[in-house]
Amino acid sequence: MSETKRKISVRKVLQAIVTVIVLGGGVAAMLGASSRQKEARIHDIRLEVRNGQQYMFLDKDALWKQLIDQKDIVKNVTRVDQVNVRDIEAEARENPWVSQAEAYVDNNKDLHIYVTQRRPAARVFFENGQSFYLDASAKLLPLSDMFTYYTTIVTNVPVFSNDSLDNDIRNKILKLVTLIDRDTFWSAQIAQVIVTPDHKFELIPVLGNHTIILGDTTDMKIKLDNLFAFYKNVLNRIGWDKYERLDLRFSNQVVASPNIPWKPSSKNAISNMDWVKNIMEQVRPDTGAIAVAAPKPVVAAKPAAAVVKTPVSKPVASAAKTPVSKPAASKPKPTVVKPATVKP
């Protein structure tokens, strides 16, 4: 029995010795690797501005100076342990046009810095005359001297005060301009969004002299779909300058008023009309609707005149009345007149 206990004790001692050796070797290896890591130098530096070709609000040279030069990071000189990647990320995010920043050192000792720009969703003009961009997260962004991005314009916006009403207006604006931007037709047709004093919305179109009364953003997609149908089925036939106001606030209705005097479209207006119509003929990506046939040229809406054939000039009976000559829609065909009988 004692011999068995002795064997177990020896086995435990050997296991403990092996464990200590393995742990000691691991610790030594880690300390050695850590020491070599501290002595390693930055091999290369790579700075990339994502979506830099589409939005050019960030200057790569200015970012390099801010994130690299001012922190005295030099290739083959600066040690890896001297680079604080969290500090670089925080510094990059201080730029209002930076939405995301990522920095790290890879196994080849290369320093990577990736910066993502914010995307403007609208250009807003406040009541006090100031102007900013509004991005996809409803954050206000300053204008840039280097680049102007053309997007939906929103005017008469009350100055934001960072309260619940302010956030509500921001979200409504963002919701509306996002819907406009994602639709091929409306992104081409809507030139301006106006915020009314009661925080509702009106739209100014590219084509037509009317104002679109949207109201609030409730069911706004249904409202715009109704307006699109009105454009296609009504204004395409009677003309785009017939109405001064198109009111979408009523359920499943487009109330057009008042009827304004018709006037022929100028060459520029006709050009705009063709441009918008061409867009209307395309498949709308949000609905998958089939493309409609090319509309006929707009004709002025006037009372239809009766078509009367012009009679041949021959002696007629005294009882016959002389027909009134009116413009004919097509080439008139002469009518043979028999004595004592006149064909109109």
Residue 299 falls inside a structural domain: no
Looking at the structure, tell me whether residues 103 and 246 fall in a common domain.
no
Looking at the structure, tell me whether residues 154 and 276 fall in a common domain.
yes
Looking at the structure, tell me whether residues 269 and 341 fall in a common domain.
no
Neighbours of 122 (CB within 10 A): 23
Looking at the structure, tell me whether residues 190 and 92 fall in a common domain.
no
> Which stretches in the chain have pLDDT values below 70?
1-11, 13, 26-38, 163, 259-344
Q: Which tokens is 83 given?
A: 């680079």
Residue 19 falls inside a structural domain: no
In the chain, the number of structural domains is: 3
CATH number for the domain spanning 187: value is: 3.40.50.11690
SS3 168: helix
Looking at the structure, tell me whether residues 110 and 126 fall in a common domain.
no
Q: Which tokens is 186 given?
A: 């409306």
Looking at the structure, tell me whether residues 147 and 266 fall in a common domain.
yes
Looking at the structure, tell me whether residues 128 and 253 fall in a common domain.
yes
The pLDDT of residue 241: 82
Looking at the structure, tell me whether residues 129 and 277 fall in a common domain.
yes
Task: Give, in order, the Cα–Cα distances in Å from 132 to each of 117, 120, 122, 155, 190.
Answer: 16, 10, 9, 11, 19
Looking at the structure, tell me whether residues 51 and 84 fall in a common domain.
yes
Looking at the structure, tell me whether residues 62 and 175 fall in a common domain.
no
Domain span at residue 323 reads: 304-344
Domain's final residue, options 117, 149, 174 = 117
Looking at the structure, tell me whether residues 213 and 133 fall in a common domain.
yes
Domain's final residue, options 117, 140, 166 = 117
Looking at the structure, tell me whether residues 127 and 240 fall in a common domain.
yes
Residue 290 falls inside a structural domain: no
CATH number for the domain spanning 82: value is: 3.10.20.310
Which among 244, 249, 203, 248 has a CA at the least distance from the CA of 227?
Answer: 248
Residue burial 271-292, b: 16+ Cβ < 10 Å; e: rest: ebbeebbeebeeebeeeeeeee
Residue 321 falls inside a structural domain: yes
* Whole-prediction pTM: 0.63
Domain's final residue, options 91, 117, 143 = 117
